[in-house]
């Protein structure tokens, strides 16, 4: 055994081989953690769904089923989310992190449905406060995820939703819709595309490093 040799199960190893093991451990732990964290497509999907709902409810004549725009679009988006998520997460493991994030977003989604449908059908709908409440809930989910992931970008996205909520309280008429669409454009569509770019970049880097992803 030379000066740098280490005894491992009766054989000698040098520092290079030991360092290789550390690199292997780190890359595999990273691969395990990253396997379930890409949800850019979902932000994009919901951003598009919001735009479709707003366009449908604004452009159709009053008698043309305008009131159906939000319920139909939102239910369709939920079903699409469940279907795509099931397909993307098939055969993939779950971690404490993925369960924690799923808990935040599921609770937020259910909260919006529990709030929005009764308010819309109660006859006490008031656009400013209604949209502000929705935007606050979206902000809570983003900021909660951002704090959990220690990811400033998502905290900023959540803060933008909260800023939109404040703005919604201050504007009148169609201003509420414009605020919501602007926030959707940045916080859902823009953020979703940004995440999808990151996902493809991370996968390319992982492939280059020899770590395969399912």
Partner 1 sequence: MPELPDLDPVVHGKMRLALLSLLSGVDEAEFTWLRAQTGSTDGNLGAHLLKLEEAGYVAMEKKFVARKPVTLYRMTETGRAALERYIASLKALLGGALAG
Give dist(CA 13, CA 20) in Å, integer.
Answer: 11
Check residue 21 for interaction with partner 1 (CB under 8 A): yes
H/E stretch holding 70: helix 69-89
Helix axes 175-184, 127-149, angle to 10 degrees: 20
Residue 11: in which H helix or E strand, if any?
A: strand 11-13
Q: Are 32 and 211 in contact (CB under 8 A)?
A: no
Q: How many CB atoms lie within 10 A of CB 78?
A: 14
Give the end-to-end CA distance of the chain in Å, rounded to a whole number. 41
Taking residues 56 to 95 in sequence order and writing x for each that binds partner 1 by CB under 8 A, - otherwise, the string is -----------------------------------xxxxx
Check binding of 3 to partner 1 (CB under 8 A).
Answer: no
Output the smallest distance, CB 212 to partner 1, in A: 5
- Binding residue (CB under 8 A) for partner 1 from 29, 84, 110, 204: 29
Q: Does 18 bind partner 1 (CB under 8 A)?
A: yes
What minimum distance in Å lies between the beta carbon of 26 and partner 1? Answer: 8
Helix axis angle, 69-89 relative to 96-122, nearest 10°? Answer: 170
Query: Which CB atom, from 18 or from 197, has the smaller least distance to partner 1?
Result: 18
**Segment contacting partner 1 by CB under 8 A, of 24-32, 60-68, 172-180, 186-194:** 24-32
Cα 182 to the chain's mean position, in Å? Answer: 18
Which of 62, 63, 96, 173 forms a contact with partner 1 (CB under 8 A)?
96
State in angstroms the smallest separation of the CB of 103 from partner 1: 14
Pick from 35, 102, 129, 153 the residue near partner 1 by CB under 8 A: 35
Are the C-beta atoms of residues 211 and 31 closer than 8 Å to each other?
yes
For residue 8, the minimal CB distance to partner 1 (Å) is: 5
Per CB under 8 A, 103 contacts partner 1: no
Give dist(CA 204, CA 212) in Å, integer. Answer: 10
Contact range with partner 1 by CB under 8 A, out of 8-16, 48-56, 146-154, 176-184: 8-16
Dihedral sign computed on CA atoms, order 88, 102, 158, 78: positive
Q: Is 208 a residue that touches partner 1 (CB under 8 A)?
A: no
Is residue 182 a contact residue for partner 1 (CB under 8 A)? no
Q: Does 2 bind partner 1 (CB under 8 A)?
A: no
């Amino acid at each position: 055994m030379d000066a740098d040799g280490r005894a491992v199960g009766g054989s000698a190893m040098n520092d290079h081989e030991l360092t290789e093991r550390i690199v292997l451990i780190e890359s595999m732990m990273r691969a395990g953690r990253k396997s379930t964290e890409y949800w850019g497509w979902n932000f994009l999907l919901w951003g598009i769904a919001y735009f479709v709902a707003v366009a449908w409810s604004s452009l159709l004549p009053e008698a043309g089923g305008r009131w159906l725009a939000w319920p139909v679009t939102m239910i369709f988006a939920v079903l699409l989310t469940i279907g795509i998520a099931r397909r993307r997460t098939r055969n993939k493991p779950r971690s404490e992190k993925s369960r924690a994030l799923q808990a935040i977003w599921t609770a937020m989604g259910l909260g919006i449905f529990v709030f929005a449908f009764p308010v819309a059908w109660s006859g006490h709908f008031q656009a400013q406060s209604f949209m502000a409440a929705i935007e606050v809930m979206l902000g809570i989910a983003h900021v909660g995820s951002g704090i959990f992931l220690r990811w400033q970008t998502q905290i900023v996205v959540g803060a933008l939703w909260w800023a939109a909520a404040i703005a919604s309280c201050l504007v009148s008429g169609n201003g509420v819709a414009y605020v919501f669409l602007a926030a959707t454009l940045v916080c859902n569509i823009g953020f979703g595309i940004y995440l999808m770019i990151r996902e493809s970049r991370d996968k390319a880097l992982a492939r280059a490093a020899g770590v395969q992803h399912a």
